[in-house]
């Protein structure tokens, strides 16, 4: 992302940048790489899987952490812009930050995706273990009030081997299915979206035999577009009411290291702050305001980037939204020890300017 001409404007907004300054690590990436390449990061890749054992992985080092803080801060800044204003600051520059994928479910079907509803879901300890969280955000404990589904690119449970499953693309080419799969849930009344698994076509293509080259990947490939399509299709009555995005059971090792560092970052006055600073906690866990280093780093993580891109790409559909804070906790799911993240969503235009004296770092 290019930001040289944008920074003076951002520096004048105390609710975006604390005390009118942008603290930078001396080795922080300059300008265009701070948010990363639009085409790559918008896929929100989250491989591979890692268990959270004991106190978890070692925390990410200070240099990498500060890079993520900068990236998350840039995400937050761009959320306050219009799509037209944001477009030129993407890498590569765009006329608008808005996604061009707008015809769902047709475009999902055209590019080989299918969706199957999931039923008999348990939100309590037997499966997801998030009832205390749901009580806090006002979401139903009854899964019948939710919509759960899997959006997948190929079906591993049919008699035909996934490696040889094909589809005909809109341009007439016969292409192989990648095995991409997204496990998603929505509760329209509370504006809650849950992502429990997200493995994009680009990631899953590397597991096919033989590997699927980039030239043969579906054009509809970004995780942020797939997740938005789900929200649009099943929460249309409250499309602009998005308030909470739950990333359940984070298994990405990089994000886990960021979470470990975020916990260490928690001062005693942060709700849920742990003097040992290395333990995951059950709900309410650790809460971080959007402008703390911890929340910005989590937004810049592999799992958080997809949240940021969906808000940046869907301003017309969702309204101009921003992340107002996040929580990290461990669910009550049986035999699940991995952390989960909740990003809280609010209207960017309605955010009250923060005092320059606020100590958010």
- Given a cut of 90, whether residue 1 has pLDDT beyond it is no
What is the tens place of the pLDDT at every residue in 23-39?
A: 322 222 222 333 443 33
Secondary structure string (H, E, C) spanning 278-302: CCCCECCCEEEECCCHHHHHHHCCH
Q: 3-class SS at 208?
A: coil
**pLDDT at 277 (0 to 100):** 63
Mean pLDDT along residues 325-341: 91
Mean pLDDT along residues 127-134: 96
Q: Report yes or no: 29 and 230 within 8 Å, Cβ to Cβ.
A: no
Which residue's entry shows tokens 């100590």?
A: 359
**pLDDT at 137 (0 to 100):** 97
| Tokens (6 digits) for 1 | 């992302």
Distance CA 208, CA 8 (A): 47
What is the tens place of the pLDDT at every residue in 188-203?
A: 999 999 999 999 999 9
| Lowest pLDDT segment from 25-39, 128-142, 343-357 | 25-39
Distance CA 13, CA 10 (A): 5
| Lowest pLDDT segment from 143-147, 154-158, 289-293 | 154-158
Which DSSP state fits 276?
A: T
**pLDDT at 297 (0 to 100):** 97
Q: Report yes or no: 35 and 237 within 8 Å, Cβ to Cβ.
A: no
What is the tens place of the pLDDT at every residue in 37-91?
A: 333 333 344 445 677 777 788 899 999 999 999 999 999 999 999 999 999 988 8
Nearest to 126 by CA among 140, 143, 112: 143
| Lowest pLDDT segment from 20-24, 41-45, 214-218, 326-330 | 20-24
What is the tens place of the pLDDT at every residue in 223-245?
A: 999 999 999 999 999 999 999 99
Please count the other Cβ atoms lying within 10 Å of the Cβ belonging to residue 63: 11
Q: 3-class SS at 42?
A: coil
| Lowest pLDDT segment from 17-26, 74-83, 260-269, 298-307 | 17-26
Please count the other Cβ atoms lying within 10 Å of the Cβ belonging to residue 95: 10
**pLDDT at 207 (0 to 100):** 95
Mean pLDDT along residues 171-186: 98
Distance CA 355, CA 218 (A): 46
Which band of pLDDT confidence, cut at 50, 70 and 90, is reported for residue 355?
very low
- Given a cut of 50, whether residue 318 has pLDDT beyond it is yes
Distance CA 164, CA 155 (A): 11
- Given a cut of 90, whether residue 101 has pLDDT beyond it is yes
**pLDDT at 3 (0 to 100):** 42
- The β-bridge relationship of strands 181-187 and 192-199 is antiparallel
What is the overall mean pLDDT for the chain?
A: 84
Query: How many percent of the chain have pLDDT more than 70?
Result: 80
Q: Report yes or no: 243 and 38 within 8 Å, Cβ to Cβ.
A: no
Considering only CA atoms, give the Rg of the chain: 20
Mean pLDDT along residues 123-133: 94
Query: How many percent of the chain have pLDDT more than 90?
Result: 70
Distance CA 157, CA 180 (A): 14
| Tokens (6 digits) for 270 | 């942060």
| Tokens (6 digits) for 55 | 């106190």
Nearest to 245 by CA among 256, 260, 257, 230: 230
- Given a cut of 70, whether residue 124 has pLDDT beyond it is yes
**pLDDT at 56 (0 to 100):** 82
Which band of pLDDT confidence, cut at 50, 70 and 90, is reported for residue 269?
low
**pLDDT at 107 (0 to 100):** 98
**pLDDT at 52 (0 to 100):** 79
Q: 3-class SS at 127?
A: coil
């Amino acid at each position: 992302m290019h930001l040289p001409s944008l920074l003076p404007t951002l520096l004048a907004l105390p609710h975006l940048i604390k005390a009118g300054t942008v603290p930078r690590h001396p080795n922080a990436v300059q300008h265009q790489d701070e948010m990363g390449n639009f085409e790559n990061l918008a896929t929100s890749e989250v491989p591979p899987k890692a268990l959270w054992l004991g106190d978890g992985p070692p925390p990410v080092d200070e240099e990498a952490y500060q890079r993520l803080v900068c990236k998350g801060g840039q995400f937050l800044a761009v959320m306050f812009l219009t799509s037209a204003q944001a477009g030129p600051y993407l890498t590569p520059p765009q006329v608008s930050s808005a996604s061009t994928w707008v015809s769902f479910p047709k475009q999902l079907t055209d590019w080989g995706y299918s969706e199957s509803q999931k039923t008999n879901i348990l939100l309590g300890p037997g499966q997801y273990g998030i009832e205390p969280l749901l009580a806090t955000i006002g979401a139903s404990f009854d899964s019948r009030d939710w919509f759960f589904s899997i959006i997948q690119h190929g079906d591993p449970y049919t008699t035909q081997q996934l490696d040889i499953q094909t589809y005909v693309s809109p341009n007439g080419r016969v292409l192989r299915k990648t095995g991409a799969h997204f496990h998603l849930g929505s509760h329209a009344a509370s504006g809650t979206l849950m992502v429990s698994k997200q493995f994009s076509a680009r990631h899953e293509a590397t597991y096919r035999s033989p590997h699927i080259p980039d030239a043969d990947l579906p054009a509809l490939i970004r995780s942020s577009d797939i997740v938005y399509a789900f929200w649009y299709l099943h929460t249309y009555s409250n499309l602009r009411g998005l308030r909470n995005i739950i990333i359940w059971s984070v298994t990405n090792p990089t994000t886990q290291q960021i979470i470990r560092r975020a916990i260490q970052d928690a001062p005693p006055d942060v709700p849920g702050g742990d003097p040992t600073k290395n333990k995951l906690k059950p709900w309410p866990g650790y809460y971080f305001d959007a402008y703390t280093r911890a929340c910005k780093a989590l937004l810049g993580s592999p799992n958080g980037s997809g949240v940021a891109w969906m808000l940046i790409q869907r301003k017309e559909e969702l309204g101009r939204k921003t992340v107002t804070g996040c929580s990290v906790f461990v669910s009550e799911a049986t035999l699940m020890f991995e952390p989960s993240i909740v990003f809280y969503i609010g209207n960017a235009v309605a955010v009250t300017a923060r005092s320059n004296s606020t100590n958010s770092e």
